[in-house]
Structure 1
């Protein structure tokens, strides 16, 4: 029996197809757990992306620092957080970008939901 998830407008579901699509991107982001890899990326971003075989869509999203493009290109937010860390961003920055809010607006929304 196959279960179909309902479409959520504006949301890219990370499923098997997205996982395959984003394998190289997520593998590269996972490498950022190592400080030497983060340093290598900062030294020569294009060469580092090429080493992992990122496609044109993924490389453009990396250059643009666009989380929504990275997710559409197969990125998983948990791996993308490693990339964001290089840029001095945290998961709240990613959430703000995804929702089109400022970080302060995003944090206020989270606090409102918590209460």
Structure 2
């Protein structure tokens, strides 16, 4: 029997729950492998070959190759694990987050300094304003 998930009512938000964890297990294990210098070097030398060593779905592999972190999250990726891909590419977490929101690094930083994203349009779909 599936659990009730009232948080699925938040627009543009993927909650990393047990279901997402199971779906993204191999994707996240791949990301964690990038903590070792020799694995980062192998990945950078031939990304596709390295990804093919992992029992990830083709969609997960394509999302990694495209550096589409939003898609990686949809496919079970955890942002803290996905940060290893950004670090492998020499990107800061702030740069990664900016790319995920369609903002430049500076725009993202400035938004966060101002207190984050406005709640307008980001409430639960079922909630009345």
TM-score by length of 1: 0.90
Aligned to 2:126: none
1:36 aligns with 2:38: yes
Q: Which structure 1 residue ranges, 5 or more long, are not aligned? A: none
Aligned to 1:99: 101
**Higher relative helix content:** 1
Judge which range, 88-97 or 28-37, deviates more.
88-97
1:72 aligns with 2:74: yes
Q: Which structure 2 residue ranges, 5 or more long, are not aligned? A: 117-129
Q: Secondary structure at the match of 1:51?
A: coil
Structure scoring higher RCO (CA < 8 A, sep ≥ 6) equals: 2
List per-residue Cα deviations over 1:26-55 (Å, max 9, x = no partner): 000001111001001111211211111121
Out of 93, 110, 113, the position equivalent to 2:112 is 110
Aligned to 1:89: 91
* C-alpha displacement of 1:5: 3.6
* Equivalent residue pairs, number: 113
* C-alpha displacement of 1:4: 3.5
Larger radius of gyration: 2
* C-alpha displacement of 1:12: 1.0
Out of 17, 20, 32, the position equivalent to 2:19 is 17
Superposed CA RMSD in Å reads 1.5
